[in-house]
Structures are given as structure tokens and as C-alpha cells.
């Protein structure tokens, strides 16, 4: 069978690889480089603003072995070297408030007093996180069907943090992320705010 795949991003290229053994596959990509939103600035994409020798990964660059089992199987098949990375995120608000995740605080080189302040600031969000995880864990497919992410999340600090995690995960602009299907985003957020490990490709994507 002849199959055309529109778009040479991560999903398109993985699909082409998996189908190539049994079908004639053609990938159509309008950009001069494959990878979609995945880029390594200063390496496969020039970035004059970066100092020489500095590389910056952009796009989908971290992968959970627990939730991306087939992808890690593909990495192993292609002999792609991976390294573990900490689950560390942060939130910087326009009013100057800054929040750091437990992983980010643990990996910080700041002094003990600064890390204590960050931990106390984060602790104020933990009740909201526990409430979200409880609701998300109970929400079935029927309850989420036809609803948007904004229909489920509120206007609090944690809600904004969760939205920005989806911006990062799916490379979607902030002003559009609220319209994403709740049936996709809520289970993803429930999984990724739990006990999960991450890997990245050695040397960058």
C-alpha cells in the first residue's frame, strides 16, 4: 500500500518508520528540516543569539518511560542513547511571584534558606494539587467528553501552571491551550503530576 504522511514532525516520522517495513511511505514536509517543533538551536538550527558551543533544545525533548513505552522501545531499537533528567518545572508570574517544583528545589544550588522559602511557597499550592489529582483521577471519559481544558481548570496559580505544562507538552500557544480537549489533557496532567521519571536524548534532539 502507498501511504502519504503529511508533516515530518515527531509523530509523522515515527509513523513513517513503523509503516516503512510493510508499505511504501512518503513523508511530505513543507519546511527544509524534519522534526516539526523539535529543534536543537545552535546545532541543527542556527541561532546567532546563542554563544558559540551552546545548544538549546526546543520542542518535545523529555520522555517518560512509564508513559511512552513504545517510544522508548523505538529508542532502544535505533540505539539512541538516553539519560535520566529530573522532573523539575517552575512558574514565573507577571506579578513577580516565582514557584519551583520539588525537583527544581532539590536540584537548586541556592542556599538552604532560599530553598526553604521556595518549599514553603510551593506548600501553599499542594492542597490545590491534591484536589486536582483527586478530581482528575475520578473523571471518566464520559465526564470529560466534549469539554475543554478551561472547562475543568479554574483561575488559580496551580491552574495556570497546569495550563503552561500543556503549552510545553504540546507546543500550543498559551491563548489556545484552554480550548484543548479535556479528555486528552486532564489524564495527561494527572499522569505527569504524579510520581514519574523522565529521559532525554544525549546530545540533544
Q: What is the pLDDT of residues 176-185, one digit of tens each?
A: 999 999 999 9
Higher model confidence: residue 90 or residue 205?
90
Interatomic CA distance for residues 124 and 127, integer angstroms: 7
Interatomic CA distance for residues 47 and 22, integer angstroms: 39
Instruction: Name the phi and psi angles at 75, rounded to 5.
Output: -55, -45
In the predicted structure, residue 22 carries a pLDDT above the cut 90: yes
Residue 171 CA, distance from chain mean position: 8
pTM of the full predicted structure? 0.78
In the predicted structure, residue 82 carries a pLDDT above the cut 80: yes
* Strand partners for 98: 92
pLDDT of residue 164: 93
In the predicted structure, residue 203 carries a pLDDT above the cut 90: no
pLDDT of residue 128: 96
For residue 24 the three cell numbers come to 511504501
24-75 pLDDT, tens per residue? 999 999 988 888 877 788 887 888 898 888 888 777 778 889 888 888 999 9
pLDDT of residue 9: 87
pLDDT mean over 158-184: 92
Homologous superfamily (CATH) of 2-86 is FAD/NAD(P)-binding domain (3.50.50.60)
For residue 41 the three cell numbers come to 538551536
pLDDT of residue 53: 84
* Closest of 1, 56, 38 to residue 23, by C-alpha: 1
Interatomic CA distance for residues 38 and 10, integer angstroms: 8
Question: What are the structural domain ranges in the chain?
Answer: 2-86, 90-192
Angle (deg, nearest 10), helices 182-192 and 126-138: 130
Amino acid at each position: 500500500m502507498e501511504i502519504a504522511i503529511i508533516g515530518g514532525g515527531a509523530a509523522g516520522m515515527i509513523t513513517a518508520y513503523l509503516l516503512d517495513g510493510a508499505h511504501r511511505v512518503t513523508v511530505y514536509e513543507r519546511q527544509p528540516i524534519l522534526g516539526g517543533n523539535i529543534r536543537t538551536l545552535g546545532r541543527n538550527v542556527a541561532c546567532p543569539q546563542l554563544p558559540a558551543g551552546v545548544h538549546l533544545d526546543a520542542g518535545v525533548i523529555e520522555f517518560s518511560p512509564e508513559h511512552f513505552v513504545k517510544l522508548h522501545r523505538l529508542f532502544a531499537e535505533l540505539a539512541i542513547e538516553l539519560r535520566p533528567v529530573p522532573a523539575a518545572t517552575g512558574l514565573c508570574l507577571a506579578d513577580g511571584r516565582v514557584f519551583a517544583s520539588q525537583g527544581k528545589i532539590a536540584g537548586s544550588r541556592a542556599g538552604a534558606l532560599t530553598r526553604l522559602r521556595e518549599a514553603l511557597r510551593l506548600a501553599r499550592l499542594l492542597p490545590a494539587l491534591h484536589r486536582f489529582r483527586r478530581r482528575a483521577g475520578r473523571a471518566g471519559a464520559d465526564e470529560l467528553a466534549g469539554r475543554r481544558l478551561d472547562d475543568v481548570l479554574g483561575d488559580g496559580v496551580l491552574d495556570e501552571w497546569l495550563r503552561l505544562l500543556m503549552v510545553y507538552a504540546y507546543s500550543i500557544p498559551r491563548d489556545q491551550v484552554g480550548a484543548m480537549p479535556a479528555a486528552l489533557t486532564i489524564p495527561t496532567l494527572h499522569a505527569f503530576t504524579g510520581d514519574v521519571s523522565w529521559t532525554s536524548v544525549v546530545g540533544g534532539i
